[in-house]
Structure 1
Amino acid sequence: MSTRCFLLLLWAVSAQADFFHFDSISNVSTYYFNYIYCNIWEGECQPNQDDATQQVPTRDIWAGFPQDYMSLLHQWYCSLGQCCESGDCRITNNITGLARDLQTKLHGQHLAESVVLKAIQGFINNPESNKPLTLSFHGWSGTGKNFVARIIADNLYRDGVKSECVRLFIAPFHFPHARLVDTYKGQLREAIRDMVLRCPQTLFIFDEAEKLHPGLIDAIKPFMDHYDNVDGVSYRRAIFLFLSNIGGATINDVALDFWHSGQNREDIGMEDLEHRLRAETMESQGGFAQSELMSGHLIDFFVPFLPLEYRHIKLCARDAYAARGLETDEATLDEVAKAMLVRRKQRDGPGGGVPSQKARHQGRSRIRRQSSVTQPAETGSVTGSVAALLHLPGLNPVKTKG
């Protein structure tokens, strides 16, 4: 049903209603046209509701209309993407889906899985939160920080990372020059304000946060603080994610300690990491660590991403093949995992991206021999790393499904 037909329908119903005078039909049609234009197309409109001739009808003009027609009209309106139970069709807040995706798609990150789910679920279920949710993801590149950020976006928003409620900032790309930090401050504050005005539950992702200028983070610190509003705008429903490599050495040291002592990595708890991770973050160089965001204790959760083991890389390879509708075998998965280890060694050298002195002296030969604690190649998510390797010679799938 076109908009023109819809307006004709409004006219017809108005004309048949015995409580309308003929000379008021024009006013009713004008009101509803303005209402549709403002709320469906969100055009620049200012319906004059102070004008008594354009008030909303005080009686239900749909009262005598058959329910079947009302149902069709409702379906047409909802097909425009403006009608849903949540009140904002851009937001889905699918906590069940988030839990499922973290459990089935994220490998080797039991701490991140638990902390992220707890944090997001608690925030979504508490509409009276006194501050925005601020999470800080820590770990070496390739451990899944960007991957988890994408999972969050996919389950909280209808259009995932493409949603107009999601905004990604990459520090060296969006804010490359320290001399322009004052300009960046104004641009960033304006961008955050505009986003929240359009979508109160906006997800802001700051990648490579350790490269942000401290003044830049301090400029947006009020948006993450315990304020009812900032210049008339409330930011309490916004979500801020900061992704950085800070703390990677500490996380690796703890993982190696557990491995050398014969304990399972799944036994690593937040109590083993949180204090040391906070300390390393506070002591590290860079804008993120030196900002008021850290000194003001505005980070709600520090989320550690552990170094991946060989078995986890194989699981990521399996998922990458499955996502393309391909089947594979153990031999091919082994080849992919080995190829990723070669890429890692070419980048990081014999130390393999495990920077601690303890790891170099105690575990180097054993790590090489058994490929136990390993770090994948230089991408934001392991699945992305594996996907890039699927086209290497000799890494062919067994067969195509279907």
Structure 2
Amino acid sequence: MGRLRSSPRSFPTPPDSPHLDGLSPRWRLPLLGQQYLDILTTWFCSFQDCCDHGDCRVSNNFTGLQSDLSVQLHGQHLAQELVPTTVRSYLELPRPDKALALSFHGWSGTGKNFVARLLAENLYRDGLRSDCVKVFITLIHFPHPKYVDLYKEQLTDQVRKMQEHCHQTLFIFDEAEKLHPGLLDALGPHLEHQTPENHRAEAVRTIFVFLSNLGGNVINEVVLGLLKAGWSREDITMEHLAPRLQAEIVASTDSGFGHSRLVKENLIDFFVPFLPLEYRHVRLCARDAFLSQDLLYTEAALDEIAKMMVYVPKEEQLFASQGCKSVSQRINYFLP
């Protein structure tokens, strides 16, 4: 479940054709063919949403989202229940008075990025390439603290412009715990409740998703304690985790996230815990990696890959320290 990356949206210009208006004859459609294409396009668009920007390519495939999470996400029953229900409820509001803010927390490799990608793919036909989806990776987009004022201006301007362009937007912040406090506070006005007079004629729906390793250790401690006490993993609830997780986020001295407006003013709607993954979950990730490449696998190969991972704590050897991260690379050892 690697880091989110947006695919390029531009396409190379055909050879010998530096400008569209100057296409060489071999790239031009015959006049009759062009007329036919125009007629076909008009006919197609009479039945389908057809446009040249991302706003009208919203799909909101809630059934697909629920299915993808159920089949492809392993060991995360809380996220499987909370994320699709919350997102659907929000997007079906006739006129929401604030943006929806979800904050995903847990160790690396537990599925936070994966769920964010599935959100984009099921809410927009173009997925992460949609004009209405933007992924920010903290150390790539905001690498230098001394330029925080410039970043704040650019960030707020980009959010505003996307909201003007799209009636439904999705913003994903990877490595959110590393965001400068000034950037977090700059997002505050976009997340707070809006009074009716500030509403646009057309309802605007905005989802912010923050991905963070912050709180991962306390999630693991709570899960380990419950498992050792005889609880089934699937019986662990938000009530077991939410208080400890939020307290850890607020108390953290390694990140400004818990001290930002977003947390202090309760602008985050849900803190979603991602549980540490076990041996059986790593096997399922290995199986998915084989299937995604149309490769055959054996049960023995899945076991071998799962055994390659490091498990903690030292005594219990229960949780994969990297979750399913790097599993897809490890199947290369089993290729002919």
Structure 1 length-normalised TM: 0.69
Give the alignment partner of residue 163 of structure 1, picking from 108, 130, 143.
130
The 8 Å contact of residues 55 and 131 in structure 2, kept in 1 or not, is answered as no
Q: Which runs of 5+ in 1 are unaligned?
A: 10-35, 37-68, 346-351, 355-363, 398-402
Q: Which runs of 5+ in 2 are unaligned?
A: 1-28
- Aligned residue identity for 1:299: I
Compared with structure 1, are the counterparts of its residues 76 and 157 closer, same or farther at alpha carbon in structure 2 (3 Å cutoff)?
A: closer
Provide Cα deviations, 1:118-152, integer angstroms capped at 9, x if missing partner: 11111121131111110000001110000000011
Give the alignment partner of residue 289 of structure 2, picking from 300, 309, 320.
320
Q: Which residue of 2 aligns with 1:150?
A: 117
Q: Which residue of 1 aligns with 2:335?
A: 396
The 8 Å contact of residues 132 and 235 in structure 1, kept in 2 or not, is answered as no
Does residue 386 (structure 1) correspond to residue 327 (structure 2)? The answer is: yes
- Aligned pairs for 1:71-86 (under 5 A) are 73-75=42-44, 81-82=50-51
User: Partners in 2 of 1:376 and 1:387 — Cα distance?
Assistant: 12
Provide Cα deviations, 1:156-178, integer angstroms capped at 9, x if missing partner: 00011111111000111111111
The 8 Å contact of residues 309 and 375 in structure 1, kept in 2 or not, is answered as no
The 8 Å contact of residues 57 and 126 in structure 2, kept in 1 or not, is answered as yes
The 8 Å contact of residues 101 and 269 in structure 2, kept in 1 or not, is answered as yes
Q: Which residue of 1 aligns with 2:139?
A: 172
**C-alpha displacement of 1:249:** 1.3
The 8 Å contact of residues 95 and 203 in structure 2, kept in 1 or not, is answered as no
- Aligned residue identity for 2:244: R
Task: Classify the secondary structure of the residue corresponding to 2:205.
Answer: coil
User: Partners in 1 of 2:240 and 2:129 — Cα distance?
Assistant: 36
Does residue 366 (structure 1) correspond to residue 312 (structure 2)? The answer is: no
The 8 Å contact of residues 224 and 235 in structure 1, kept in 2 or not, is answered as no
Q: Which residue of 1 aligns with 2:156?
A: 189
Give the alignment partner of residue 307 of structure 1, picking from 252, 263, 276.
276
Task: Classify the secondary structure of the residue corresponding to 2:316.
Answer: helix
Does residue 333 (structure 1) correspond to residue 274 (structure 2)? The answer is: no
Does residue 293 (structure 1) correspond to residue 293 (structure 2)? The answer is: no
- Aligned residue identity for 2:256: G
**C-alpha displacement of 1:229:** 8.2
The 8 Å contact of residues 94 and 203 in structure 2, kept in 1 or not, is answered as no
- Aligned residue identity for 2:133: V
User: Partners in 2 of 1:220 and 1:228 — Cα distance?
Assistant: 17
Does residue 376 (structure 1) correspond to residue 322 (structure 2)? The answer is: yes
User: Partners in 1 of 2:204 and 2:109 — Cα distance?
Assistant: 31
Task: Classify the secondary structure of the residue corresponding to 2:93.
Answer: coil
Q: Which residue of 1 aligns with 2:249?
A: 281
Give the alignment partner of residue 255 of structure 1, picking from 212, 220, 223.
223
User: Partners in 1 of 2:48 and 2:149 — Cα distance?
Assistant: 44
**C-alpha displacement of 1:385:** 2.4
**Hey, which bits of structure 1, 4+ residues long, moved more than 3 A?**
4-9, 76-80, 228-236
User: Partners in 1 of 2:203 and 2:246 — Cα distance?
Assistant: 25
User: Partners in 1 of 2:75 and 2:227 — Cα distance?
Assistant: 14
Compared with structure 1, are the counterparts of its residues 249 and 80 closer, same or farther at alpha carbon in structure 2 (3 Å cutoff)?
A: closer
The size of the alignment, in residue pairs, is: 304
**C-alpha displacement of 1:88:** 4.9
Task: Classify the secondary structure of the residue corresponding to 2:163.
Answer: helix
User: Partners in 2 of 1:396 and 1:259 — Cα distance?
Assistant: 36
Percent of aligned pairs sharing the same letter: 48
The 8 Å contact of residues 156 and 186 in structure 2, kept in 1 or not, is answered as yes
Q: Which residue of 1 aligns with 2:213?
A: 245
- Aligned residue identity for 1:253: E
Task: Classify the secondary structure of the residue corresponding to 1:327.
Answer: coil
- Aligned residue identity for 2:219: I
Give the alignment partner of residue 170 of structure 2, picking from 203, 223, 231.
203
**C-alpha displacement of 1:196:** 1.3
Give the alignment partner of residue 137 of structure 1, picking from 87, 104, 108.
104
Task: Classify the secondary structure of the residue corresponding to 1:238.
Answer: strand
User: Partners in 1 of 2:35 and 2:223 — Cα distance?
Assistant: 69
User: Partners in 2 of 1:333 and 1:136 — Cα distance?
Assistant: 32
Structure 2 length-normalised TM: 0.82
**C-alpha displacement of 1:200:** 2.4
The structure whose RCO (Cα within 8 Å, separation 6+) is larger is 2
Structure showing greater radius of gyration is 1
